[in-house]
Structure 1
């Protein structure tokens, strides 16, 4: 990949991150169930608070901008929030920022205004005071002189079922010599386990295997609260939540507080379920043969034991408390399939072809030279939808298929071991049969005629 392509890719990834930041910011205020008065109060509150953008800067968004984003999202969906990929160069030279950082580190008590005065005295020019302050916040220099105070946390519980789900991953026992991982989502209000899946990897594919059935059966939560693990910060999860209208929240790095309910559930899993699973030969416990059996046993334990037992904090059985607000609206199969597709950007070649992980596809010739988005199921690369500037541009027709699934979409079941040989050589059998037939004499009597009596039939040398 050339340097220009790398820069273009970086610009597009940044544009997607900005769109997700905008969506997360306006999601609550864009709720169609809110009255104009309620929406106005939320927008004014958002405009009055500082926010951290994808670049780590602390910014403030005006009410007019928030209203504009809400209107764009209502009219054209998530794609309308993606900004232009044009990249502007920073107006402040980097060496000025480096000198400002050095002045701050030299004396942490210096304010942004004081450093601005020093820079102006040194160079005759200095950035705006607010620009320097944002830089200090982004680089963490504002905390140099402020001693850290111990944080205090209060108890929190969602007001109703499906208001917030909390997700996390648990490292489990070995099955057939391979380490297992459990992805699970717990409803914060009822403590019901809305989704779960054991797998052999802690990746986005196994996370989707837990979350997608949960959304199809339990409905769409308002918030999903997760940590900063690689599977939970993947762009796939951000896209899925944005498509379904879910506000995805990540806990602050190094501060796991707020995920105590799922951690408490994992302790219950270790104390009541995994303790009964034998990790190897000769150990006491159930010898699980494969993942299918592991997931079947876990589902039985969740539904018959955990969900029906009175929870020590709520005083109710988790499933019974969750059902108090049922039924819940569930996404359509089409919307769910669209949300869980993956996407990548490619430039269409002069021959109207695009490449994706060793495969080549034919697209509309009118897209030659343009940057398009390819939307696909990671387990089926034979069918791709094409989008250009947020609009549908048809289907990419397979031209050369070398692989049928995404490299990250690894199956749980490894390739089957080679079958033992039967020892039968078919070609040798045919050869032996042919040799035997050539060695046998011709039985003319069986043919119904005698060549000795009628030599004109065949010109043969008949012995006396």
Structure 2
């Protein structure tokens, strides 16, 4: 009996040794070419990316993917200790990841099936201070049958164009977001083509020109003026105010050809990141768990924290650099004077002056210079304050229009956003709250590039 037990123990030990050697050989065969000391860092990085992009058959006959970080660690281990450093301990017969950690990962997936393994790893790292490898989480998801709900297929990406430097080209677009306060939200965002930095953004309840201006104007005030802005043909992007603002600031505005999304691939990729890392953590009206957003102010604050603390600091897979760091290599960028920016973002409409020197605008009537009677003039105004209008005739300043009869104080398109009460969060880890707390802690040490601090315009009033 004892001899059988001893013999069985020795057999198991031998099998563990053989398996450990097979694993070490598998690792060595993968990294041997990339570990060549004669390779440059760029050459080695290209080989490692190629290895991480394809599947491999491990010693157990399973098809697996190996992450870039794991391959880099194996190369480092081999350089320090040779082949033996690649051989795992034969005593490692059970997984090294504590079962309670994997149970947490499974709970996060069950709580929100649309979370990816990468997102689960980020949440666990933010909550616990560390997390298992992304591939480990992915294997657990498949093993437990939690991958029934798959994310929608990514749309095709067109072209490989990249601007030569920061602020050469900004791309703008709108993203349809989750339900907040019982209303659908929209994100207007602009990214710098060269660095992929988010130069301007704003969540709102309407996909209109006012919300677009709320994203673009602070971007111009803090990031400078780009040479070219590339947008689609949405109603907000073809509004005459945008063309006027770009013309005033010397920006070339280009619209994409309808039905041909080439050139907007980078911002579409950014929006997929927003959906998979930010929107996925927001509770919606369909019962999906997450943080309950109580106001647009909170949503914009959390999004700013995520952009600054996560997106801008993470190395971009295409550029090999953090977006904000790459954008700042081209600085400093001159910003427009507050008066010039305010003038550029005023709206204008043309009207014909009556024989009594009155002019009408959206139900209001104004008195102008009697010499302008019968002429077609341009009325320039702040959309949130129709009590003060400037008049231009033949491109020249012609004074101001005095209110004669005022029934509307703001432009019909300048609709205010009124928040409502929503219940507080009840379940799950608040990932966005963790990111927001980290952003708050680092504000004192933040680089002073004035990303979100703009000079108030004394001639315009803030949105109500």
Q: Report the counterpart of residue 266 of structure 1 in structure 2.
A: 271
Q: Report the counterpart of residue 235 of structure 1 in structure 2.
A: 240
Q: 1:341 aligns with which of 331, 346, 356?
A: 346
- Taking the aligned partners of 1:225 and 1:186, their CA distance within structure 2 comes to 10
Q: Report the counterpart of residue 447 of structure 1 in structure 2.
A: none
Does residue 1:328 correspond to 2:339, yes or no?
Answer: no
Q: 1:414/1:305 Cα in 2 relative to 1: closer, same or farther (>3 Å)?
A: closer
Does residue 1:379 correspond to 2:369, yes or no?
Answer: no
Q: Report the counterpart of residue 289 of structure 2 in structure 1.
A: 284
- Taking the aligned partners of 1:334 and 1:201, their CA distance within structure 2 comes to 27
Task: Let me know the Cα RMSD of the aligned residues.
Answer: 1.6
Contact 2:220 2:335 in 1 (8 A): yes
- Taking the aligned partners of 2:257 and 2:177, their CA distance within structure 1 comes to 25
1:404-431, Cα deviation, whole Å (9 max, x unpaired): 0001110112699xxxxxxxxxxxxxxx
- Taking the aligned partners of 1:205 and 1:361, their CA distance within structure 2 comes to 24
Task: Give the drift of 1:325.
Answer: 1.0
Counterparts of 1:243-322 in structure 2 under 5 Å? 243-280=248-285, 283-322=288-327
SS at match of 1:206: helix
Q: 1:210 aligns with which of 209, 215, 222?
A: 215
Does residue 1:408 correspond to 2:428, yes or no?
Answer: no
Task: Give the TM-score of the pair, scaled to structure 2.
Answer: 0.56
SS at match of 2:379: strand
Task: Give the drift of 1:400.
Answer: 1.1
Contact 2:181 2:419 in 1 (8 A): no
Task: Give the drift of 1:282.
Answer: 5.1
- Taking the aligned partners of 2:420 and 2:276, their CA distance within structure 1 comes to 33
Task: Give the drift of 1:280.
Answer: 2.7
Number of corresponding residues? 265
Task: Give the drift of 1:154.
Answer: 4.1
Does residue 1:358 correspond to 2:366, yes or no?
Answer: no
Task: Give the drift of 1:281.
Answer: 7.8
Task: Give the drift of 1:283.
Answer: 3.4
Task: Give the drift of 1:284.
Answer: 1.2
Q: 1:414/1:173 Cα in 2 relative to 1: closer, same or farther (>3 Å)?
A: closer
Counterparts of 1:4-153 in structure 2 under 5 Å? none
1:111-165, Cα deviation, whole Å (9 max, x unpaired): xxxxxxxxxxxxxxxxxxxxxxxxxxxxxxxxxxxxxxxxx96411000000000
Q: Report the counterpart of residue 222 of structure 1 in structure 2.
A: 227
Does residue 1:155 correspond to 2:177, yes or no?
Answer: no
- Taking the aligned partners of 1:379 and 1:292, their CA distance within structure 2 comes to 19
1:186-213, Cα deviation, whole Å (9 max, x unpaired): 0000000000000001111110000000
1:232-284, Cα deviation, whole Å (9 max, x unpaired): 11111111101100000111110001100000000000000000000038531
SS at match of 2:318: coil
SS at match of 1:172: strand
SS at match of 1:269: helix
| Unaligned residue ranges in structure 1 (runs of 5+) | 1-151, 417-464
SS at match of 2:236: coil
Contact 2:295 2:419 in 1 (8 A): no
**Larger-Rg structure:** 1
SS at match of 1:325: coil
Q: Which of 1 and 2 has higher RCO (CA within 8 Å, sep 6+)?
A: 2
1:353-375, Cα deviation, whole Å (9 max, x unpaired): 11111111111111111111100
Task: Give the TM-score of the pair, scaled to structure 1.
Answer: 0.56
1:315-353, Cα deviation, whole Å (9 max, x unpaired): 000000000011101011111111111111111112111
Q: Report the counterpart of residue 31 of structure 1 in structure 2.
A: none
SS at match of 2:329: helix
Q: Report the counterpart of residue 176 of structure 1 in structure 2.
A: 181
Contact 2:159 2:262 in 1 (8 A): no
| Unaligned residue ranges in structure 2 (runs of 5+) | 1-156, 422-464
- Taking the aligned partners of 2:383 and 2:315, their CA distance within structure 1 comes to 40
Q: 1:282/1:251 Cα in 2 relative to 1: closer, same or farther (>3 Å)?
A: closer
Q: Report the counterpart of residue 25 of structure 1 in structure 2.
A: none
